[in-house]
Structure 1
Amino acid sequence: MKESKINSDELLEQAQDLSFDPSLPAHQVVRGWLLGLILGGSLPPGSKLPAERQLASALGISRMTLRQALDALQHEGRLNRAVGGRGGSFIAEPRASVDISNLMGLSAQLLKSVHSASSRLLDAQTRPASKLVAEALQLPPGAEVHRIRRLRYAASTPVVLEDSHFPAHLFPGLLGRQLTGSMYAVMGEEFGLAPFSSVEELNPSVAGEANSKLLEISPSAPVLTIKRTALCEDGRPVEYSEDVVRTDRLRIIVSGRVDPAGR
């Protein structure tokens, strides 16, 4: 059973009664206490924590120790920190989980965690492949590809900026299809070239000016860039994509398995 929501004054009262385990660092104890309140429903998404000075004083710890606990919760996606007129620490919406090794499609995965998932088409054109794209798709220099840029939403929040390339000779007329739904469904059902496996490269980065405006985050916000080459069942590359992911709203998972033969 979830606990009832508590306000700032009640949180400060509970903070005064918090017991510290001497075998654990104080910031870990505070992180665990706040996480328990978040998971229990006492601090639902959108709740604002008391000012750091007040909370640290109630806990009987330094502001530096408190910030270690808050930084850990922010890194885990449990907390948002804001500056300006509405500054402070706020409990974040739960992050949706996405397994990038699962080729069922992003929308289908998002719908397991949020009530709606959608896409906004930013750009779609057929153009000569760059050297990088041609190499990834095993195409001759200058071969034509369909480039499709989309912004993916979890509920009403933009979470992934996709920049995908598809060999034009394998997908004639692709740009005339429905491009805001599952591209993998279109590739499989209309062209018989559904992705069967993929190779992904993950790199931490910051959003930057252009991406931050689309993803509605700060230019300095941390993001994850994912370069993906998808292959059809016979091993031919059918998609090369460079995605920018909001890690404050998505929890990225990579799963794997060993087959019975140990390969």
Structure 2
Amino acid sequence: MPGAGRKSPPTGGGNPPRYLAIAAVVRDRIVTDQLGPHTLLPSERELAEQHGVSRMTARQALSLLESEGVVYRKPPRGTFVAEPRVRFHIGSFSEEVSRLGRRPAARLLWAEVQQATPAVRMALGLDDGAEVHVFHRLRSVDDAPVALETTFLPAHLTPGILDTPEEGSLWAVLRDRYRIRLARSTAVLESIVLDDASSSALAVRAGSAGTLLTRRTQDESGRCVEYARDVYRADRAAFEVSEVLTPDRAGV
């Protein structure tokens, strides 16, 4: 037959935009050459000359990397390698940061007793009129602000906790002081735009990208003992999620 054995042309043709390829090259160089944080990278003009593209295309590549948090720019000095993101599992901020060999810290912005709102009551499984202890803290890693945490704890389970020093892990306090055996923590992650107050507290430009982590923590009996709404800088935090695949979920 005429044309037998001839391969069909690929569908959805076209090459990816050049700026994506240039961004991939720079990203790979940062990783493979192990360029340390704050290393000066080639300028837009140098990138354009190296890859035979316009300065606008080179600028798009650097803008993409900046939006990913891989680089940061300091006009007129140039573009630099950013600090690596802190890679969190879902859990205690202090314990996760310490596990990575970094230095966690907390600064208490306010703490008080509140009557639980309907959403907080639902999350914690509380009755109407129940009270909660609320902590609002700025969390940092190696002195750099990373997250704003708002933590709600059932007041009847945590008497006197508002006197707790602001440093350290609230999970450790729940375990050691109140003998609450934590068993499971689940979270939902959502991309958000930081408002002016959060941007100021986290030392980023207004309107920067953030990650909202909404977390519920249960004890061994399945009772919810903590509800939290945490706002992270998107350029400084990454979250690692793993799942054990049973045969029915793995498609076997």
- TM score, norm. by length of structure 1: 0.80
Query: What is the DSSP-based 3-state SS (H/G/I as helix, E as strand, rest coil) of the residue aligned with 1:200?
Result: strand
Number of positions where the alignment pairs a residue of Structure 1 with one of Structure 2 = 236
| Counterpart residue type for residue 178 of structure 1 | P
Q: Is the 8 A contact 1:203 1:226 kept in 2?
A: yes
Distance 1:40 1:199, change over 3 A: closer
Are 2:207 and 1:217 equivalent residues in the alignment? no
Query: What is the DSSP-based 3-state SS (H/G/I as helix, E as strand, rest coil) of the residue aligned with 1:70?
Result: helix
Query: What is the DSSP-based 3-state SS (H/G/I as helix, E as strand, rest coil) of the residue aligned with 1:217?
Result: coil
**1:67, CA displacement in angstroms?**
3.4
Distance 1:214 1:86, change over 3 A: farther
Distance 1:97 1:61, change over 3 A: same
**1:142, CA displacement in angstroms?**
2.5
| Counterpart residue type for residue 85 of structure 2 | R
Separation in 2, partners of 1:247, 1:99: 15
Query: What is the DSSP-based 3-state SS (H/G/I as helix, E as strand, rest coil) of the residue aligned with 1:245?
Result: strand
Unaligned runs of 5+ in 1: 1-22
Q: 2:79 aligns with which of 52, 68, 89?
A: 89
Q: Is the 8 A contact 1:184 1:194 kept in 2?
A: no
Q: 1:78 aligns with which of 66, 70, 75?
A: 70
For residues 70-149 of structure 1, the aligned pairs below 5 Å read 70-82=62-74, 86=76, 88-100=78-90, 103=91, 105-149=92-136
Separation in 2, partners of 1:258, 1:170: 35
The more displaced of 141-150 and 23-32 is 23-32
Unaligned runs of 5+ in 2: 1-14
Distance 1:150 1:24, change over 3 A: same
Query: What is the DSSP-based 3-state SS (H/G/I as helix, E as strand, rest coil) of the residue aligned with 1:81?
Result: strand
Residue by residue over 1:86-120, the C-alpha shift from the partner in whole angstroms, topping out at 9 and shown as x without a partner, is 564221011111012xx3x2122213445311111
Counterpart in the other structure of 1:11: none
Distance 1:115 1:138, change over 3 A: closer
RMSD: 2.5
Distance 1:65 1:194, change over 3 A: farther
**1:174, CA displacement in angstroms?**
1.1
**1:146, CA displacement in angstroms?**
0.2
Query: Rg: which structure is higher?
Result: 2
Are 2:170 and 1:190 equivalent residues in the alignment? no
Are 2:76 and 1:56 equivalent residues in the alignment? no
Query: What is the DSSP-based 3-state SS (H/G/I as helix, E as strand, rest coil) of the residue aligned with 1:198?
Result: strand
What percent identity do the matched residue pairs reach?
36
